[in-house]
Amino acid sequence: MELTIDDLFKTISDSRLSDIAQKVVNEERISEEDALYLFESNELSAIGHLAELVNRRKNGMNAYFIVNRQINPTNVCVYQCDFCAFGVKKSDPKAYELSLEDILRKVEETYKAGGREVHMVGGIPPHWGYERYIQLIRAIKESFPDVVVKAWTAIEIHHMSKISKKSYEEVLGELKEAGLEALPGGGAEIFSDRARRIIAPNKANAEEYLEVHRTAHRLGIPTNATMLYGHVETIEERVEHLARLREIQDETGGFQVFIPLAYWPEGTRLGGRRTSSVDDLKTIAISRIFLDNFPHIKAYWVTLGEKVAQIALNFGADDLDGTIEEEKIVHSAGTMAAYGHSIDRLVSLIKKAGKVPVERDTFYRVVKVYN
Ligand code: V47
């Protein structure tokens, strides 16, 4: 039996938490201080209930997934961020680069299996020219016009702008003309300059990441946003990250979904420990409560694992991402999740979490409801 709001208040003995809960019930925005208080609180169950209240208002009982494929054209990367076990130098024996034929073959496999989204991101190879990024999009769209290409993170867009000496607006305009329809959220990591200097000192900074997204929204390209947590960042820095996203979303409304990404340390230069499930669920739930202007929160099964992702669907999240087929980035860092999932598996995970599985497209339009 589900807890009512009255029952929920009976479980809260702490008056500050009760005030925050009242704001959530009244649909008032919570402050950064409130979010910080929630991160410091041990009342996981109450926080989860509040997040689920917000989620049900927005998404009812629907839990979304997509039939898609991730493609990483290369793992060669000039940046060598310490938290990342995927990117390698060109001389590394693990370095690879897919040919255009390889990429089109992968898209074709997914297309034949009913997939209509390609999520394509990679390293930043020193030897790629600007045109290569554009041509890859154009080639996929020419062969598969009804596949949505969600490609290149803000880090890649910033790099393209640097090597082509074009503005973000020009780069994104040319990519859009070639067929790009959405930007993924990768590359945000953590916006704090202090933490970013430790984990990713060389690539685009927070301002640049956010400006790429703002520009994409202005051009009518929807984007996603992420936050990598559980490494060197403080709770204050997590809240600052969420606050910067909320502020831009107030301006543009162009973000579709927020995806908290739990850090996996294996094989990284940064090392450290895995996040706890309590931290994962709390971060999902607080994100749902704080980001009141984001329509969706993703419980990315690759970083959370299936079980925590299922619980997250009752802690404010409404989306599991997709079938994926061959995730490489988080697998390089030790996740024990599968490389991909069948539609049946995702439908079953969602049903067992008590939600209604809804297959969606990139833009959260309903493709099929699995009653
Ligand atoms: O940007 C890198 C993260 C991201 C590690 O937009 C790591 O719909 C954990 O952004 N441990 C790529 N995470 C994945 C990503 C994503 C995934 C699914 C959907 C969407 C979307 C975006 O993975 C990177 C980085 O933040 N990452 N290394 C690691 N060791």
Reduced to 3 states (helix: H, G, I; strand: E, B; else coil), residue 148 is strand
Q: What is the pLDDT of residue 6?
A: 87
* Same domain, residue pair 246 and 124: yes
**Number of helical (H) and strand (E) elements in the chain, helices listed first:** 16, 11
Ligand 1 pocket member 259 (CB < 6 A): yes
Question: What is the chain's mean pLDDT, rounded?
Answer: 97
Distance 186 CA to ligand 1 centre (A): 5
Going by pLDDT thresholds of 50, 70 and 90, the confidence category of residue 84 is very high
Q: What is the pLDDT of residue 1?
A: 54
Per-residue pLDDT of 309-330, as tens digits, reads: 999 999 999 999 999 999 999 9
* Same domain, residue pair 161 and 21: no
Considering only CA atoms, which of 100, 97, 104, 101 is closest in space to residue 147? 104
Distance 25 CA to ligand 1 centre (A): 32
Is the pLDDT reported for residue 107 higher than 70? yes
Burial track 285-312 (b if 16+ CB lie within 10 A, e otherwise): bbbbbbbbebbbbbbbbbbbbbebbbbb
Reduced to 3 states (helix: H, G, I; strand: E, B; else coil), residue 356 is strand
* Same domain, residue pair 90 and 124: yes
Is the pLDDT reported for residue 342 higher than 60? yes
Q: Which atom of ligand 1 is nearest to the CA of 332?
A: 30
Distance 223 CA to ligand 1 centre (A): 14
Considering only CA atoms, which of 248, 309, 320 is closest in space to residue 283? 309
Mutation pick for ligand 1 pocket among 226, 256, 280, 304 (CB with most ligand atoms within 8 Å): 226
Round to whole Å and give the CA distance between 78 and 158. Answer: 14
Mutation pick for ligand 1 pocket among 70, 84, 156, 308 (CB with most ligand atoms within 8 Å): 84
* Same domain, residue pair 179 and 47: no
Per-residue pLDDT of 6-20, as tens digits, reads: 888 888 889 999 999
* Same domain, residue pair 47 and 111: no
Considering only CA atoms, which of 64, 69, 145 is closest in space to residue 110? 69
Tokens found for residue 19: 């005030």
* Same domain, residue pair 46 and 177: no
Q: Is residue 83 part of an annotated ligand binding site?
A: yes
Give the residue numbers spanning the domain of 65. 61-369
Ligand 1 pocket member 85 (CB < 6 A): yes
Q: What is the pLDDT of residue 13?
A: 84
Going by pLDDT thresholds of 50, 70 and 90, the confidence category of residue 305 is very high
Residue in the block written with tokens 């980001």 = 291
Considering only CA atoms, which of 31, 38, 49, 21 is closest in space to residue 235? 38
Per-residue pLDDT of 197-229, as tens digits, reads: 999 999 999 999 999 999 999 999 999 999 999
Ligand 1 pocket member 186 (CB < 6 A): yes
**Average pLDDT estimate for 158-171:** 98
Is the pLDDT reported for residue 144 higher than 90? yes
Distance 36 CA to ligand 1 centre (A): 24
* Same domain, residue pair 32 and 174: no
Ligand 1 pocket member 321 (CB < 6 A): yes
Q: Is residue 52 part of an annotated ligand binding site?
A: no
* Same domain, residue pair 240 and 287: yes
CATH code where residue 223 lies: 3.20.20.70
Helices 15-25 and 44-59 cross at an angle (nearest 10°) of 10
* Same domain, residue pair 268 and 310: yes
* Same domain, residue pair 102 and 212: yes
| Cross-strand bridge partners of residue 81 | none
Q: Is residue 189 part of an annotated ligand binding site?
A: yes
* Same domain, residue pair 81 and 214: yes
Q: What is the pLDDT of residue 306?
A: 96
Q: Does an H or E element contain 319, and which?
A: strand 319-322
In this structure, the residue with its CA closest to atom 8 of ligand 1 is: 184
Domain count, the chain: 2
Ligand 1 pocket member 187 (CB < 6 A): yes
Q: Is residue 2 part of an annotated ligand binding site?
A: no
Q: Which atom of ligand 1 is nearest to the CA of 155?
A: 1
Round to whole Å and give the CA distance between 293 and 71. Answer: 30
* Same domain, residue pair 23 and 159: no
Distance 261 CA to ligand 1 centre (A): 6
Whether 30 contacts 289, CB under 8 Å: yes
Ligand 1 pocket member 264 (CB < 6 A): yes
In this structure, the residue with its CA closest to atom 13 of ligand 1 is: 263
Per-residue pLDDT of 228-265, as tens digits, reads: 999 999 999 999 999 999 999 999 999 999 999 999 99
